[in-house]
Structure 1
Amino acid sequence: MILLSDPRVIDTPVADCGEPLVDISTAPDLILDPRERDEHGAYGRVRAGVLERLRSASEKLPAGIGLLVIEGHRSQAEQARRFALYEDRLRRSGISDPAELRRRASAFVSPVEVAPHCAGAAVDLALIDTDGVELDMGGTGNGHRTGDERWCPFDAPGLSSTARDHRDLLADCLREQGFVNCPSEWWHWSYGDRYWALLTGAPAAVYGPV
């Protein structure tokens, strides 16, 4: 598993294409969840190309199933705050080596200098039914915050067949549009950032911090 702290990620160049951040709420076929709402509404924005790919992915889902967007863009200050909080939690569990702290933290919170959310390139997602009820995904998004790390990896062992099918359905529609998954977080998908470029073999990321 390649984590976001891998040196190859930061070594990946960025050639930002200059696309603006746009509001997810402008896409009526996507549902924006308020649980990560921030003061400035950043959570509800992504790069224009990311939004178009999300809309195309949504169209590939079976009738009666939709995409729930939990969070999009995140400021660098907020990203740094979340990374520090998770490092502190790991430190309290007995991990003291700085390199190991960074590696373990990056399984669930990206180092700020390469964070896909800060580039407007990442979205945290789930599937919902026609009543807006979240489908069984085998664990909640951001489950690491509540100590549910066991269910966070996309390929977590022990998932029910229903949860497995739902994760696979989410993956199929997103991968078809070029998104990549951070495998330690089933809900986290990105397009155009450094991590995406490394995994796909692109010469450079097309989205940098914004």
Structure 2
Amino acid sequence: MPLNTLLKTLPPIPSHPAPCWEQLRRAPIEDNGERLVPMSLAPAPVSVYPAYARLGIPGAIPECFVREGVYRALLTAARSLPEGIGLIVLDGWRPWRVQQYLFDTLQEAIHHHQPDLSEAELLERTREFVSVPSRDPLAPSPHLTGGAVDVTLCDADGLPLDMGTLFDEALPASHSDYFEHLETLTPQQHKARDHRRLLYHTMHQQGFTNLPSEWWHFDYGDQLWAYYGQHDHAHYGPAELDTIENRWRRQLG
């Protein structure tokens, strides 16, 4: 089906409330033991751009790792896209140090611009775009599990499509359904809305759930996925890269 025809058939992105973090943290985790794998192994139409490493964020790694089930679901999603459209993976598994840096940096920026916010309000505003850093085996930050992934779409030349905001912009316009609620859209906003719909429905068809405040953030197998997908339990708990040091310790222990 031609891209323009397909875009006209896509339904609106549904609206969902922000997650209740206290509730989703109670979802049991039965880790299935899947390994972390590098997305750079994936063939076209998947490409990888480790955004945080390119931005020089402390502790960021120059690769996007995800659990094996996420890898395969992403590849299937990318292959289902219309001809000439690809999927860019921007971030996956995240070291705890990076999660802490992102949380602290955003919280400081919000406090600078809104110094009158209470502690509870500041936490809620920060959580809108960055979850609280946690290595708790019962309630890890989504990106520390390898089940959360940040993605966008690109054209045949690999250039990102217009999604209305940039990746990681902490703005109301970054909410997935933002353009669905505007009475009138400019031609550029109309195009961005259609691109978001294409990304959302492509990912949803492969079992991913979306974080409502971030059009780029999708989950598969973690507690956010269990929460929004109404699953009995999560498949992924905290994960660590299989370093050569850890491997030797297991072999020689």
| TM-score exceeds 0.5 | yes
Q: Is the 8 A contact 2:60 2:95 kept in 1?
A: no
* Secondary structure, counterpart of 1:111 in structure 2: coil
Which of the two has higher C-alpha Rg? 2
Residue of structure 1 in register with 2:150 after alignment: 124
Residue of structure 1 in register with 2:12 after alignment: none
How is 1:1-210 mapped onto 2 (pairs within 5 angstroms)? 1-4=16-19, 6-29=21-44, 30-37=46-53, 41=61, 43-92=63-112, 93-113=114-134, 114-144=140-170, 149-157=171-179, 158=182, 160-210=189-239
- Please give the TM-score of this superposition, normalised by the length of structure 1: 0.91
Question: Could you list the runs of 5+ residues in structure 1 that have no partner in the other structure?
Answer: none
Q: Is the 8 A contact 2:39 2:65 kept in 1?
A: yes
Percent sequence identity over matched residues?
Answer: 37
* Secondary structure, counterpart of 1:207 in structure 2: coil
* Secondary structure, counterpart of 1:185 in structure 2: coil
Instruction: Report the more deviating stretch, 38-47 or 73-82.
Output: 38-47
Q: Is the 8 A contact 2:78 2:86 kept in 1?
A: yes
State the distance in 2 between where 1:101 and 1:40 align: 25
Q: Give CA-to-partner distance per residue, 1:3-39, whole Å, 9 cap, x none.
A: 3562112111111111010010111121001432276
Instruction: Report the more deviating stretch, 115-124 or 83-92.
Output: 83-92
Residue of structure 1 in register with 2:10 after alignment: none
Q: Which amino acid aligns with 2:176?
A: F
Question: Could you list the runs of 5+ residues in structure 2 that have no partner in the other structure?
Answer: 1-15, 135-139, 240-253
- Please give the TM-score of this superposition, normalised by the length of structure 2: 0.76
State the distance in 1 between where 2:122 and 2:29 align: 26
Computed over aligned residues only, the root mean square deviation of the Cα atoms, in angstroms, reads 1.7
Q: Which amino acid aligns with 2:40?
A: S
What is the deviation of 1:43?
A: 4.4
Aligned residues: 206
